[in-house]
Amino acid sequence: MRFLSYVSIVGILVACKGPMEPLRPFDGAWKLYSASPGVPPRTMTLTQLGTTITGTGSAMGVDVPIPVAITGTYNPATLVSPPLAVLIFAYGNGGGMTAQHSATFQGGDTIVGSVIYYGITNVPQTGTLSFTRQ
């Protein structure tokens, strides 16, 4: 009887020994749902590691898609705030920042927030962006 108890306890310890994969809500492919005028990515793939978000996407140019590089930060939910992210969209060819998106993660499949567009006019333009998980 002692042997069976020991084996059961060892099995539990081994099962719990491995690291737990943290929840990474921004991982995945996203599609533009709504946007104000500007050059946001029409699709993007994000990867989250801790509080860092990176990704790639494409925005529609005049006649061909424009590659977009994405960097950002993530802040998990608190008692007074939903999960927040700031995403920086830059032209993938080194053309500089095109937009800064300050967003909330809503319901597990939507990113919604305000955006500031740069380079469209001499003065930065504000708007809104929403993405849904594909």
Taking only the tens of pLDDT, the chain with its 134 residues reads 555 544 444 444 444 454 555 557 889 999 999 887 777 788 899 999 999 999 999 887 667 788 899 999 999 989 999 999 999 999 877 677 789 999 998 888 999 999 998 876 788 889 999 999 99
Residue type for 97, please?
A: M
- What's the pTM value of the predicted model, to 2 decimals? 0.77
Cα–Cα distance measured from residue 81 to residue 105, given in angstroms and rounded to the nearest whole number: 11
Question: Whose CA is closest to 53, among 33, 35, 31, 76?
Answer: 76
Write down the H helix ranges in 2-123.
2-17
Q: Which domains does the chain have, with CATH numbers?
A: 22-133 (2.40.128.20)
